């Protein structure tokens, strides 16, 4: 036992948290440092190392939370991250978090860590779960066997954390190398031989014990990266010699030595009071994972999530929307006021941004509920069961059981968001499945796709509303699965696949705090990530929609029209006793603006009292304008009010006309026109093109842009549906609507999502692919459906039904396959085998 | 036909983990092949001489859930196929 230099002299201690997946490392990390690292009852949640610090009377302790690793030899990325940190950064203390309820499985890693020669403290976590299983573990006995401090903890309730801090301090003050070594029996001479060679080599990093390096080199075969080339050759020779002489692989021998020692130690330190009894989790699973009941529970869960988050969340937005609306009114008030026909640039951009941000914030209640429910699913342990139930079905299409969570987040049925969906793909260990999931997540029905669907269904399919909604919510899943299969057998073909070997975590009761923290955190990430992008893009789209603007000639034309309207107004109120209040041009404009904000405030007023208060405020602020606005019995006031209303209407008409012309003339409008030769096959005219283009920034803008294109005006009573249908220029049919809906279902991810795709795939090429591929696919499908339907003359509903059925058949053909069975031993061969044995 | 198959499930015969029915117990003999799957299984406690119980099939028959010591884990049939075991008991469920 050699002593090490006390870390205390540096007043800074580096502590690494290491342990198996789901043993509670992140929970202990949070308890130690007060951080809010993501915790879930799902193996492999932490995939990168995270660090935090705390002070302990003058000692600054830096704690690093490492990804869960079952061993340090493994080939998986997380385990490599853990190993590289431990060997290269050389922490002063390793806190090995072990799940007390599954001690025998956790100890092999502990034994491997002991060989590293770094001071170790074992945090024997989940003591409560062990107790519930009837296991009594003697920490002192374990301490004696391992030769390192063992601290019992219950991370979730903060029990034992103070002891753990004290132990860290003690070890930092007087560090000792662990001295316990596993006896590898017949391998020992070979291990010794190799470690002597390593020691002789000067190039190896001196801090890692040669015996440890030798063990890794013998253990990991040809794939080892722990030693350099010449030693690796030597290791191979020695390994082969061992395997020749003993007839077993060195790796198997090493693992088996460790796991038997672990079992012996476990048996020696554990007393089991109700051995052989069925654990509670297993009793729950007998029902929840029962072959016939499982699909029912799964559907019930998804339905509950949908009902609570999407349906009830939508109800909640009706409560929160007035808050956002009053924010917009407030912004409208403080920005420089509007002119008669032209508004100051700053006002236009300002309101445009407020509107963009509002559409985003409108979803916050839904996200809070959705993320809270998902946190409950994760923390309870049911999420891992969903992967168990669905893995088979998803696997057929190149996905993975763990693709479920991203797809649910993105909105499998209706309503979700691709941004958190793409973010959640991190946990998928299988590279190919991860990429496939990232690329199909945007196909799901995100919340922002719904308004356009609703609009088109309201216009063309009022009778078969339910059916179309059903088609839309399922066809996206069908398309996503087919695309995933297509990509898996083509572009993603050569990528790494990982096995699906995962622990089924015990059920936990989620804590209120944990769930709330996570829901708020994820929502905040959404607001931050998406918010910044939306604001930036809103500016760009604004510019594309505004410029180059109207020609001088048209400007003069509109100016003249405006003057006419004002002249008409002046004539009507001539001689009226209220006239002096609006005699100046600036007074008149103020009157018009006051009228507009009065109207929107009234619209937003929830109650009669609020409405009365608005009247009272108006009377107080603008007493001279009140006769022009408030309803009154006075005849002259009535004339004045109707005149101002007429003027306001003509002003709105002229503004709308200008807006429309500006849009046609704008860059985006020109692009929309330029695309018509291509998109005509899908039945898209330039207006639809513009709407679809602008929805790349944020999907919800599709409807807003269509609103502008079809002369939307806030105070106009006619619904957009009616306006589009009555518009003579556009002769849209139900088939057009089907083509648009299909294209929209396959539409490329919105800008915020593509940014996430870039982050998660780490490549711009994949980001571009995620934009271009769906565009071409969507255009192809929409064109095919539109052209064929027009040629054959079928109606929209039939067209959709046929498309849907083709999708279902394709899904069936691709998805079907002979399931892998247990080997069926047929009688003849059985007889033969028996004969041979006899 | 089905019961004939059950008959073939002789105790002590070497077979693959994939061929066991829920409720059956077995002892691990070896894991064939190389690579990360094998490694992951070994690290999770599926080591030679370990006793394993098959707990259940997923509703679509794949993956399967097994109990290894105190832990429950799931693995796909493709991976289970590589685990060579000997039967210890005859299953009651089928
Ligand atoms: N009953 C009980 N549950 C605990 C305890 N400590 C943590 N947990 C729960 O165990 C689950 C896993 O905790 P995490 O901290 O995410 O585990 P981890 O080791 O960081 O997991 P990975 O990052 O996936 O490797 C969570 O649901 C925790 O709430 C404990 O002492 N007792
Ligand atoms: Mg973690």
Q: Is the pLDDT reported for residue A303 higher than 80? A: yes
Confidence label for A697 from pLDDT (cuts 50, 70 and 90): low
**CA dist., res. A77 & res. A774, Å (int):** 30
Tokens for A667?
């860059």
pLDDT the model gives residue A29:
92
| pLDDT value of residue A110 | 94
Cα dihedral across residues A533, A538, A539, A544: positive or negative: positive
Q: Ligand 1: residues whose CB is within 6 Å?
A: A 19, 21-27, 39-41, 43-46, 67-68, 125-126, 128-129, 154-156, 379, 508
Burial of residue A377 (CB within 10 Å: 0-12, 13-18, 19+) is buried
Q: Write the pLDDT tens digit of every residue in A387-413.
A: 899 998 898 898 988 888 788 878 776
CA angle A670, A676, A678 (to 5 degrees): 130
Residue of A nearest to B80 (CA): A501
| pLDDT above 70 for A361 | yes
Rounded average pLDDT over A264-277: 84
Which residues does A539 contact at the CB level (< 8 Å), separation at least 6? A349, A353
What is the per-residue pLDDT across A757-768, written as a single tens digit (0 to 9) for each? 888 888 899 999
Beta strands in A27-172 (DSSP E): 50-56, 59-65, 93-99, 120-125, 135-137, 150-152
* Lowest mean per-residue pLDDT among A126-135, A380-389, A421-430, B13-22: A421-430
Q: How many Cβ atoms sit within 10 Å of the Cβ of residue A21?
A: 21
How many whole angstroms separate alpha carbon A149 and alpha carbon A143? 6
Per-residue confidence at A464, pLDDT binned at 50, 70, 90? confident
Cα B14 to its chain centre, rounded Å, is: 11
Calpha distance A653→A650 (Å, rounded): 5
Alpha carbons A703 and A692: distance in angstroms, whole number: 9
| Domain A7-185 is found in CATH 3.30.365.10 | no
Average confidence score pLDDT of chain A:
82
pLDDT of residue A823: 45
Assess contact for A11 and A180: CB atoms under 8 A: no
Q: Where are the domains of chain A?
A: 7-185, 293-334+344-489, 552-663, 676-815
Q: What is the 3-state secondary structure (H, E, C) of A357-422?
A: HHHHHCCHHHHHHHHHHHHHHHHHCHHHHHHHHHHHHHHCCCCCHHHHHHHHHHCCCCCCCHHHHH
> Can you give the pLDDT at residue A433?
92
Q: How far is A364 from chain B (nearest CA, A)?
A: 36
d(CA A708, CA A659): 8
* CA A356 – CA A550 distance, rounded (Å): 24
When pLDDT is averaged across residues A419-426 and rounded to a whole number, the result is: 80
Are A198 and A231 in contact by the 8 Å Cβ rule? The answer is yes
Determine the atom of ligand 1 nearest the C-alpha atom of A39.
16
Q: Determine whether the interchain pair A291/B56 forms a contact, defined as Cβ–Cβ distance below 8 Å.
A: yes
CATH fourth-level superfamily of B9-87: Ferrous iron transport protein A (FeoA) (2.30.30.90)
Q: What is d(CA A693, CA A751) in angstroms, rounded to the nearest whole number?
A: 11
pLDDT score of B3 more than 50: no
Chain A CB contacts of B41 below 8 Å:
501
Cα separations (Å) of A56 from A6, A60, A119? 16, 6, 19
* Whole-number pLDDT of residue A722: 61
Sheet holding A501-503, edge to edge: A501-503, B71-75, B64-68, B51-57, B25-31, B83-87, B14-16
Contact A500 B42 (CB under 8 A): no
Assess contact for A105 and B68: CB atoms under 8 A.
Answer: yes
Asked if residues A71 and B41 have their Cβ atoms less than 8 Å apart, the reply is: no
Q: How many residues does chain A have?
A: 838
Please check the confidence at residue A96 and state whether its pLDDT lies above 90: yes
Structure confidence at residue A827 (pLDDT): 37
Would you state the pLDDT for residue A838? 32
Find the mean pLDDT for residues A728-747: 80
pLDDT attached to residue A639: 81
Check residue A780 and give its pLDDT: 93
Across the interface, of A70, A388, A830, the residue whose CB is closest to B65 is A388
Six-digit token string for A777: 């696919």
- The mean per-residue pLDDT over the stretch A182-201 comes to 84
> Which of A264-268, A409-413, A667-671, B1-5 holds the top average pLDDT?
A264-268
- Of the candidates A283, A259, A282, A278, the one whose C-alpha atom is nearest the C-alpha of residue A103 is A259
What pLDDT band is residue A37 in, cutting at 50, 70 and 90?
Answer: low
Cα distance between residue A702 and residue A690, in whole Å: 8
Position A608 confidence tier, pLDDT thresholds 50, 70, 90:
confident
Tell if the CB–CB gap between A291 and B59 is shorter than 8 Å: yes
The predicted structure's pLDDT at residue A167: 94
Q: Which residue has the tokens 């340090």?
A: A72
> Å from A260 to nearest chain B CA?
9
Q: Name the minimum distance, in Å, from the CA of A452 to any CA of chain B.
A: 37
3-state secondary structure chain B: CHHHHHHHCCCCCEEEHHHCCCCCEEEEEEECCCCHHHHHHHHCCCCCCCEEEEEEECCCCCCEEEEECCEEEEECHHHHCCEEEEECCCCCCC
Q: Do A173 and A186 form a contact (C-beta atoms < 8 A)?
A: no
Q: Please state the ipTM of this predicted complex.
A: 0.87
Instruction: Report which secondary-structure segment, H or E, holds A17.
Output: strand A12-19
Residue with the bigger pLDDT between A552 and A170: it is: A170
Report yes or no on whether pTM surpasses 0.80.
no
Pair type for strands A12-19 and A59-65: parallel
Amino acid A249: pLDDT: 82
Model confidence at A623, pLDDT cuts 50, 70, 90, reads confident
pLDDT at A290 over 50: yes
User: Tokens representing A533?
Assistant: 């992008």
| A149-to-A152, A162, A164, A168 alpha-carbon distances in Å | 10, 14, 10, 10
Chain segment A521-545, per-residue pLDDT in tens: 878 877 876 677 777 777 887 888 7
B5 contacts A820? CB cut-off 8 A: no
Q: How large is the C-alpha radius of gyration of chain B? A: 12
Interface contact B44-A105, CB threshold 8 A:
yes
Chain B within 8 Å of A395 (Cβ-Cβ)?
yes
Residue A759: which residues within 8 A CB-CB, separation 6 or more?
none
Query: Among the listed ranges A139-143, A191-195, A349-353, A705-709, which one has the minimum average pLDDT value?
Result: A705-709
A284 CB near a chain B CB, below 8 Å? no
**Taking CB atoms and an 8 Å cutoff, what residues of chain B touch A224?**
none
**Domains of chain B by residue range:** 9-87
CB atoms < 10 A from the CB of A789, how many?
24
Q: Which residue, among A725, A732, A735, A736, has the nearest Cα to A796 in the 3D structure?
A: A735
**Exposed/middle/buried for residue A670 (C-beta within 10 Å: 0-12, 13-18, 19+):** middle
């Amino acid at each position: 036992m050699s002593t090490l230099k006390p870390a205390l002299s540096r007043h800074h201690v580096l502590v690494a948290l290491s342990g198996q997946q789901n043993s509670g490392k992140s929970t202990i990390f949070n308890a130690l440092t007060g951080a809010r690292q993501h915790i879930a009852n799902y193996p492999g949640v932490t995939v990168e190392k995270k660090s935090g610090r705390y002070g302990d009377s003058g000692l600054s302790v830096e704690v690093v939370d490492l990804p869960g690793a079952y061993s340090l030899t493994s080939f998986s990325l997380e385990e490599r991250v853990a190993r590289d940190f431990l060997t290269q950064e050389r922490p002063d203390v390793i806190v090995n978090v072990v799940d007390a309820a599954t001690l025998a499985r956790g100890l092999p890693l502990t034994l491997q860590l002991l060989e590293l020669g770094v001071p170790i403290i074992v945090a024997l976590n989940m003591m409560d779960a062990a107790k519930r299983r009837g296991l009594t573990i003697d920490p002192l006995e374990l301490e004696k066997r391992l030769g390192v401090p063992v601290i019992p903890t219950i991370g979730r309730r903060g029990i034992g954390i103070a002891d753990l801090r004290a132990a860290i301090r003690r070890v930092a003050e007087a560090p000792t190398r662990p001295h316990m070594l596993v006896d590898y029996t017949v391998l020992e001479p070979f291990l010794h031989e190799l470690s002597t060679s390593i020691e002789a080599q000067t190039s190896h990093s001196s801090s890692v014990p040669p015996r440890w390096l030798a063990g890794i080199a013998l253990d990991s075969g040809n794939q080892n990266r722990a030693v350099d080339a010449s030693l690796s050759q030597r290791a191979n020779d020695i390994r082969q010699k061992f395997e020749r002489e003993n007839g077993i692989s060195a790796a198997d021998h090493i693992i088996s030595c460790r796991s038997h020692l672990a079992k012996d130690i476990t048996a020696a330190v554990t007393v089991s009071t109700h051995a052989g009894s069925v654990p509670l989790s297993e009793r729950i699973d007998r029902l929840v994972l029962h072959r016939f009941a499982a699909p029912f529970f799964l559907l019930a869960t998804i339905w509950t999530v949908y009902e609570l988050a999407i349906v009830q969340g939508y109800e909640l937005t009706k409560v929160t929307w007035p808050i956002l609306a009053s924010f917009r009114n407030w912004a409208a008030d403080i920005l420089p006021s509007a002119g008669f026909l032209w508004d100051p640039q700053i006002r236009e951009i300002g309101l445009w941004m407020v509107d963009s941000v509002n559409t985003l914030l409108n979803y916050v209640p839904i996200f809070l509920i959705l993320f809270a429910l998902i946190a409950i699913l994760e923390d309870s342990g049911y999420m891992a069961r969903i992967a168990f139930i669905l893995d088979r079905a998803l696997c057929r299409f190149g996905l993975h059981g763990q693709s479920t969570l991203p797809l649910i987040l993105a909105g499998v049925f209706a309503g979700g968001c691709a941004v958190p969906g793409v973010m959640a793909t991190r946990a998928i260990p299988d590279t190919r499945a991860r990429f496939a999931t990232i690329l199909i997540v945007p196909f799901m029905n995100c919340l922002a796709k719904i308004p356009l669907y609703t609009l088109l269904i309201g216009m063309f399919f009022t009778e078969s509303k339910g059916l179309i909604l059903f088609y839309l919510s399922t066809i996206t899943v069908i398309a996503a699965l087919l695309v995933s299969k297509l990509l898996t057998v083509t572009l993603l073909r050569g990528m790494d696949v990982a096995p699906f070997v995962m622990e089924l975590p015990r059920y936990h009761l989620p804590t209120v705090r944990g769930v709330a923290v996570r829901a708020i955190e994820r929502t905040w990430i959404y607001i931050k990530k998406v918010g910044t992008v939306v604001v930036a893009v809103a500016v760009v789209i604004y510019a594309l929609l505004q410029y180059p603007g109207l020609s001088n000639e048209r400007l003069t034309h509109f100016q003249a029209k405006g003057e006419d309207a004002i002249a008409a107004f002046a004539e009507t109120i001539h001689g009226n006793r209220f006239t002096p209040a609006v005699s100046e041009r600036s007074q008149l404009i103020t009157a018009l603006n006051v009228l507009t904000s009065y109207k929107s405030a009234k619209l937003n007023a929830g109650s009669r009292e609020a409405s009365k208060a608005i009247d009272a405020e108006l009377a107080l602020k603008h007493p001279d304008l009140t006769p022009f606005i408030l309803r009154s019995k006075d005849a002259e006031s009535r004339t004045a009010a109707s005149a101002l209303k007429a003027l306001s209407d003509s002003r709105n008409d002229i503004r709308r006309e200008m807006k429309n012309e500006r849009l046609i003339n704008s860059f985006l409008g020109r692009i929309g026109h330029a695309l018509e030769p291509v998109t005509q096959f899908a039945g898209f005219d330039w207006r639809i093109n513009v709407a679809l283009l602008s929805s790349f920034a944020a999907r919800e803008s599709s409807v807003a842009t269509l609103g502008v294109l079809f002369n939307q005006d806030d105070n106009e009573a006619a619904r957009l549906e009616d306006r589009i249908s009555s518009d003579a220029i556009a002769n849209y049919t139900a088939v057009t609507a089907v083509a648009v809906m299909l294209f929209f279902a396959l539409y490329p991810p919105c800008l915020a999502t593509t940014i996430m795709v870039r982050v998660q795939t780490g490549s711009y090429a994949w980001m571009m692919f995620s934009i271009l591929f769906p565009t071409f696919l969507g255009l192809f499908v929409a064109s095919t459906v539109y052209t064929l339907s027009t040629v054959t003359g079928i109606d929209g509903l039939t067209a959709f039904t046929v498309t849907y059925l083709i999708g279902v058949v394709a899904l069936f053909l691709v998805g079907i396959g002979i399931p892998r069975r247990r080997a069926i031993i047929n009688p003849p061969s059985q007889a033969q085998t028996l004969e041979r044995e006899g | 036909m089905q019961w004939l198959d059950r008959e073939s499930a002789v105790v002590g015969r070497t077979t693959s983990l994939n061929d066991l029915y829920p409720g059956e117990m077995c002892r691990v003999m070896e894991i064939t092949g190389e690579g990360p799957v094998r490694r992951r299984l070994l690290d999770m406690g599926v080591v030679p001489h370990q006793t394993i119980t098959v707990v259940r099939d997923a509703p679509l028959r794949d993956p399967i859930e097994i109990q290894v010591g105190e832990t429950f884990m799931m693995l796909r049939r493709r991976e289970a196929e590589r685990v060579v075991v000997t039967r210890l008991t005859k299953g009651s469920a089928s």
